[in-house]
Structure 1
Amino acid sequence: MAEILEGIEIPINIRALKTSTIYYVSTDGKNILIDTGMDPGTENFLLQKRVRVEDLDAIFLSHLHIDHLGGAEKMHQDYSIPVYMGYEDLVRVKAIQENPSGFLSELLDFLRMNGVPESYLQEFGENHPVIMELENYKNLDIEDIATIPGGTYGGIKFVNTPGHSPGSTCFYMKNEKFMFTGDHILERITPNISFYDRTTDMLSLYIKSLRETMKFQVDRVFPGHGKPFSGLKERSESIIDHHLGRVQEIRGIAKDLWINAYEIAGRMTWSKGRRMITMNSMEQNFAIGEAIAHIRYMKNSGELDEREVNGTLEYRSS
């Protein structure tokens, strides 16, 4: 019989989210922690729930974002607990560790190519979550979750769900019909879809992953933010509809007009009717990344034409 804490909500320094939810699972003789919050103080929250960190057999990270992996390194160093993550996220973490200045340089070059003004670039770079939390990335010691034989551990099946991140992983318990979704599926927030290189169509991958997870029999969803909920299939369909609505909005913005990604993001309507100009720098980063992901999806489907003018990419509805 599996023991699952319904969720330990940990405060995080991201205004739109406020908390990150981690889970302790005891099943088939294994004690597992799914995600770790944003900073090294995670152990204190576990102790409040009478969870002894030294009894953990493994830590599984749903994806590479700091609000899910920030507490992993200290627990690994203090207690030698193995930490696992999806391969495509793991290689990106290692790239950041090996060349953090190169990561920032590539990020700024790509933002520049997408129309972000020079006057904003330094602030955008400084307020990128990876750069802000670089120390928490530098020493992470993580293993590829695919090295665990059979793709399961303690009755938990690993489900590859690229989209919110390249190596996003969900964790499925077939007997209980539970799925731990990280940021792949959230109940009240539509997960941010961004870019991780110059070519991969993350939105297309995300929609495909949502349709794949809809095939699982799931009675209860344990998300990376908020409380557990039911209705995975219905929520997945509403998320897909949301993104297709964004596509339609961009189609209208770029109709008969050559326009870059930064300008498109500035004209889009965001959560609660907000505009990008009202956001802080971190939120603007998310908005621009989201615009780029949708533009790439539309370009690949033939809905947008692309041209380069003086080093800046511009788009127009076909």
Structure 2
Amino acid sequence: MIEEIADSFFRMEIPLPKNPLRSLNSYVIKSKDRHLIIDTGFNLPECFDAMKEGLKRLDVRLEESDFFITHLHSDHAGLVTRLITDTSRVYFNQTDAEFLTNLNVQKELNSFIQMSGLPDEVVDTMIKMRSQYRSDIGAWLGRVIFVKEGDTIDVGDYTFRAIVTPGHTMGHTCLYEPERKFLIAGDHILYSITPNITSWTDSENRLKEYLLSLDKVYDMDVDLILPGHRSVFTDLKGRIDELKRHHEKRASDVEAILEEGVLNVAQVASKMKWEIKCDSWDAFPIAQKWFATGEAMAHLRYLEDAGRITREKSNGKRLYSLAS
């Protein structure tokens, strides 16, 4: 589906096969000079075919197009590898790029995963998938134009300002068009679903960062929010208030779970409530166990830093309990 948002500004739905998100919103801004494509989809044939067909209908040639990637996740950045041409510019945040390329960060992350309590099958599969993804995007990371807070990108009659919003990823970046009051939000703010906030290293408190980033955009003059998934929407403050309440409820739920006793991260995740059509934790697909455990970890880290729970290490696993 292609929807015209404004003059020369379009939303394309790119299918995400076998994924509960169902589709990605890729935004295309046309110009007499260079077009801009914002986010792309997985590096899968279904995504590639949908992107090519959509661009054909919009009369947009890849040779005349640049890319802005809101964050490092493969449903947003994965297809860039197949779409870029020799003339393409790719705008991306340096923090996310370094997260993918810094070997010390990857070692810390892998060690952290192995202490989560997830089964070896899940750990091994996700480490391999992440390694393959880093290899795939190596084709374009070396030619990235790094975008930092306040940078502007001009496309036709539009001028977009970069707003760095760490949380969903530590380099997540939104775009704001002040004249039309558009906020291209990536996965920072979604309307009918909540962004997945995960944490896999000791060096970051992702949920705290995310809540601060919600505060950062709360008072912005925005008429239309253009998210990375599902429908566009208008009530920025109302949705942010809902997201804050959601995460405080999640944190309280985690505390209630820990009333049962000392648990590792995966055990906490298995007892949390998830909107996924599976009869039990054992039936969760590997990728969904990964994201659920990462989100449990983000809430545990948030609670630990707030002094509401404590952590210890035993037999190579991180264990959590209520603060006394």
> What's the TM-score bracket when you normalise by the shorter of the two chains?
0.7 to 0.9
Distance in 2, matches of 1:24 and 1:116, equals 39
SS of 1:271's equivalent in the other structure is: coil
Q: CA separation of 1:304/1:273 partners in 2, compared to 1, >3 Å: closer, same or farther?
A: farther
Distance verdict in 2 for CA 1:283–1:272, change over 3 Å: closer
Query: Aligned runs of 1:2-21 on 2, under 5 Å?
Result: 3-21=7-25
Deviation at 1:137, TM superposition (A): 2.0
Greater CA drift, 62-71 or 26-35: 26-35
* Aligned CA distance change for structure 1 residues 84 and 196 (closer, same or farther; 3 Å): farther
Equivalent residue for 1:138? 138
Equivalent residue of 2:299, what SS? Answer: helix
Between 1:110-119 and 1:222-231, the stretch displaced more is 110-119
2:200/2:297 contact within 8 Å kept: no
Query: For the residues of structure 2 that align with 1:19 and 1:7, how far apart are their CA atoms?
Result: 12
Partner of 1:80: 87
Say if 1:256 and 1:317, in contact at 8 Å, map to a contact too.
no
C-alpha displacement at 1:37, in angstroms? 1.8
* Residue 151 to residue 203, structure 1, CA distance change in 2 (3 Å): same
1:57-76 maps to which residues of 2 (within 5 A)?
58-76=66-84
Query: Structure 2 vs 1, CA of residues 136 and 120 (structure 1 numbering), >3 Å: closer, same or farther?
Result: closer
Instruction: Rate the CA distance shift 1:86–1:28 in 2: closer, same or farther, 3 A.
Output: farther
After superposition, the C-alpha distances for 1:136-173 in whole angstroms (9 at most, x for unaligned) are: 32322322113x9x611211000010000010000000
1:153-302 alignment to 2 at 5 Å? 153-154=153-154, 155-255=159-259, 257-271=261-275, 275-302=280-307
SS of the residue 1:153 aligns to: strand
Q: Is the 8 A contact 1:192 1:286 kept in 2?
A: yes
> Cα gap change, 1:107/1:293 in structure 2, threshold over 3 Å: closer, same or farther?
same
Instruction: Give the TM-score taking structure 2 as reference length.
Output: 0.86
More moved, 43-52 vs 292-301: 43-52
Rate the CA distance shift 1:38–1:121 in 2: closer, same or farther, 3 A. closer
Q: Does 1:46 align with 2:55?
A: yes
Output the CA distance in 1 between the equivalents of 2:136 and 2:25: 18
Structure 1 pair 173/315, CA: closer, same or farther in 2 (3 Å)?
A: same
CA distance in 2, matches of 1:111, 1:268: 19
For residues 21 and 196 of structure 1, the distance between their equivalents in structure 2, rounded to whole angstroms, comes to 27
Distance in 1 of aligned mates of 2:316 and 2:116: 9
Q: How far apart in 2 are the matches of 1:196 and 1:257?
A: 23
Residue 88 and residue 22 in structure 1: after superposition, are their counterparts in 2 closer, same or farther (change >3 A)? same
Instruction: Sort the Cα spacing of 1:201 and 1:227 in 2 relative to 1 into closer, same or farther, 3 A.
Output: same
Separation (CA, whole Å) in 2 of partners of 1:259 and 1:182: 33
Alpha carbons 1:86, 1:168 under 8 Å: kept: yes
Equivalents in 2 of 1:313, 1:240: separation in Å?
Answer: 27
Contact 1:107/1:125, CA 8 A, preserved across alignment: no
| Letter aligned with residue 90 of structure 2 | V
The match for 1:113 is 115
In structure 2, what is the Cα distance between the partners aligned to 1:118 and 1:277? 14
Cα distance in 1 for residues equivalent to 2:184 and 2:271: 35
CA distance in 1: counterparts of 2:202 and 2:80, whole angstroms: 29
Find runs of 4+ consecutive structure 1 residues off by over 6 angstroms.
none
Q: What SS does structure 1 have at the residue aligned with 2:140?
A: coil
Shift of 1:198: 2.5
Asked whether the equivalents of residues 162 and 176 of structure 2 are also in contact (C-alpha less than 8 Å), the reply is yes
Instruction: Give the corresponding residue for 1:90.
Output: 97
Question: 1:303: which partner in 2?
Answer: 308
User: Which of residues 298, 312, 321 in structure 2 aligns to 1:316?
Assistant: 321
> Bigger shift: 33-42 or 248-257?
33-42
- Does the 8 A contact of 1:36 with 1:70 survive in 2? yes
* TM-score normalized by the length of structure 1: 0.88
Residues 58-104 of structure 1 deviation map (CA, whole Å, 9 limit, x = unaligned): 3111000111112223333x242110111210112333xxx59x93x
Q: Tell me how far 1:210 sits from its aligned partner.
A: 0.8
Partner residue, 2:3: none
Instruction: Check conservation: 2:112, 2:200, Cα contact below 8 A.
Output: no
SS in 2 for 1:210: helix
Q: How big is each residue's C-alpha offset from its partner over 1:237-274, in whole Å with a ceiling of 9 and x where there is no partner?
A: 11111111110000001126111111100111111586
Counterpart for residue 151 of structure 2: 151
